[in-house]
Structure 1
Amino acid sequence: MLEALTGLGLASAAGLNAYIPMLAMGLLSRFTDLLSVPPGWAWLENEWVMVVLGVLLVIDMVADKIPAVDSVNDIIQTVVRPASGGIVFGSGSASETVAVTDPEQFVSSGQWVPVVTGVGIALLVHLAKAAIRPIANAATFGLAAPVLSAVEDAASVGLVILAVVVPVLVVVAIAALVWGAVVFVRRKRRAHAANASAAA
C-alpha cells in the first residue's frame, strides 16, 4: 500500500513538473539514506543525468512563468511529464524509502504496471494544469502565470517529500490540490462573468 502511495505522490509531482521528482530521486538516492533506487533505475543517480535534469528544470521553470510561453511549454510537456510520471512511479514504487522497506512484493506481479500507472497519473495532473493555466492567464492578463508556476513547483517538491517520508499524507495533499484548483477555476469564472455583465 505504501509503495503505491509513494508512486502516486511522485507521479503527481511529475504531472506538475517533470524534472523535480526525477532529480530529487537521483539526489536522494545518491547522497542520502532516505531513498535507495533498485539497480534497474540506478541511472537516475548518475551525475550526468542529474546535470541534464537540472538544466532542463531551470529551463522549464523559467518558461513556465512567462505568459503565452507557458502554454507552449505545456504542449511540449504533454509527452515529457507523463513519461517522467512513468519513470518515477516505476522507480519510486520499487525503491526502498524510510517508509517503504519491502517494495519487491508490489512490483513482482508485473514491472510494467507501475510505469503505465505513473504515465496515466502524471497525464491527468498535467492535463488539469494545462487546462487551468490559459483560464488564469486570460482572467489576469498573464499576471497569474508566475504565481501559479511557483505554487505548482512548490507543490511538486512537497509531493516528493511526502511520497518519500510520509506517503500516507499524499492522498491528503492531492485532495487539497484538487480542491484548490476547483476553487480557483470557479472564482475566475465568476469574475469573468461579472466583468462580462458589467461591460454589457
Structure 2
Amino acid sequence: MEITAAVAAVLGAFGLSGAAGLNAWLPLLVVGAADRFGWIDLGSSYGWLSSTPALIGIGVVFLLDLVGDKIPALDSVLHTIGLFVAPVSGAILFTADTSLSSHLPPAVAAILGAVTAGSIHAGRTVARPFVTGTTAGVGNPVVSTAEDGTSLALTILALAVPVLAFVVILIVLIALGWLAFRATRWLRSKHDRQERNPTRPARRSQ
C-alpha cells in the first residue's frame, strides 16, 4: 500500500506541475481552495496556500492573467514572465504533493516540478507566435481557453486520478512538441521568404 501511495503521489505531482505549465496560477488556486475546504491536507509546510491572503492574491493574479493571455502581444509578455513563474509554481506544487507522505527529497521534487512545468510552458510559448501568425491573432483566445481548461482538468485529475493525470501530461508534452516543431519550421520559412523578397526602398524623385 505504501508503494502504491508513493507512486500515486509522484504521478499526481507530475499532473499538478504540468497543469502549472499551462496556467501557473490556476493549480495553486485550486489546491489552496481544496485544502481550505478540507478536501485535501497540505500539512503545515504548505498550509499557507490556503490562507486568506494567499487565496485572494493568487485569485487576483489568476484573473488578470486569464484575461491578458487572450490578447495578442500582451500574451507574449505574459509568456515571457511565465518562463520564470511557471517553474516556481510547478516546483511548489510538486513538492507540496509529494511531501504529504515524504516520498521524495524536497530538492528532487522541486527540480522535477520546475522542469515539468517549465518544459510545458516553453512549448506553449514557442507555439503561440505560430498560432498568432497563422490566424491573425483570432486563434489566441481559443488556444488560451483550451490551455486553461486543460490546466483545470489536469489539476482535478492529479488530485482524484493521478495515473490518468500523468498520461494526459505525456499527451500534452507530445502535442506541444509537435506544435513547437511546426512553429519553428513556420518561423524559419517566413524568415527565408523575407530574405528572398526583401522590401525594396522607394526610389527618390529626380
Unaligned runs of 5+ in 2: 1-6, 198-206
In the alignment, which of 142, 147, 163 is matched to residue 142 of structure 2? Answer: 147
Displacement of 1:170: 1.5
> Who is 1:117 aligned against?
112
In the alignment, which of 106, 115, 129 is matched to residue 134 of structure 1? Answer: 129
SS in 2 for 1:40: coil
| CA–CA separation in structure 1 for the residues paired with 2:144 and 2:115 | 22
> Does 1:162 pair with 2:157?
yes
1:137-156 deviations in Å (ceiling 9; x for gaps) = 00100011100100000010
TM normalised by structure 2 equals: 0.82
Contact 2:21 2:121 (8 Å CA) reproduced? yes
> Does 1:71 pair with 2:39?
no
> Who is 1:100 aligned against?
none
| CA–CA separation in structure 2 for the residues paired with 1:72 and 1:13 | 20
TM normalised by structure 1 equals: 0.84
Within 5 Å, give how 1:1-200 maps onto structure 2: 1-33=7-39, 35-95=40-100, 103-104=101-102, 106-107=103-104, 110-181=105-176
Alpha-carbon spacing, 1:123–1:187, altered in 2? closer, same or farther (3 Å): closer
Contact 2:120 2:176 (8 Å CA) reproduced? no
> Who is 2:4 aligned against?
none
1:150-177 deviations in Å (ceiling 9; x for gaps) = 0000010011011100001022212332
Contact 2:120 2:173 (8 Å CA) reproduced? no
Displacement of 1:183: 5.9
Displacement of 1:117: 1.3
| CA–CA separation in structure 2 for the residues paired with 1:55 and 1:44 | 14
SS in 2 for 1:36: coil
**Counterpart residue identity of residue 44, structure 1:** L
| CA–CA separation in structure 2 for the residues paired with 1:128 and 1:178 | 8
1:116-139 deviations in Å (ceiling 9; x for gaps) = 211111110110010010111001
Q: Which has the larger radius of gyration?
A: 2
Unaligned runs of 5+ in 1: 96-102
1:43-93 deviations in Å (ceiling 9; x for gaps) = 001011000000000010111000111111101111111110110111022
> Who is 2:200 aligned against?
none
SS in 2 for 1:7: helix
| CA–CA separation in structure 1 for the residues paired with 2:181 and 2:120 | 18
Displacement of 1:181: 3.6
**Counterpart residue identity of residue 126, structure 2:** A
Question: RMSD over aligned Cα, in angstroms?
Answer: 2.1
| CA–CA separation in structure 2 for the residues paired with 1:85 and 1:182 | 19
Alpha-carbon spacing, 1:120–1:94, altered in 2? closer, same or farther (3 Å): same
| CA–CA separation in structure 2 for the residues paired with 1:135 and 1:78 | 18
